[in-house]
Amino acid sequence: MINLTYQYKLEPTKAQSQTMSDWLETSGKVWNYALGERKDW
């Protein structure tokens, strides 16, 4: 099986960087909440 990957260098503006940081934080919180719900049965 051959895996092809592409890498792109991002150069976001400060506003875009802040938005991506917010998304990362939110998705981490959602992931951790879901893990907690899964483990707490």
What's the CA gap between 35 and 3, in Å, rounded?
A: 29
Q: What is the pLDDT of residues 1-41, one digit of tens each?
A: 899 999 999 999 999 999 999 999 999 999 999 999 988 76
The model's pTM is 0.66
pLDDT score of 19: 98
pLDDT score of 39: 83
Of 19, 2, 1, 34, the C-alpha closest to 10 is 19
List C-alpha distances in Å: 16 to 7, 12, 20: 19, 5, 6
Residue 3 DSSP SS3: coil
pLDDT score of 41: 65
Q: What is the largest CA-CA distance in the chain?
A: 43
pLDDT score of 40: 72
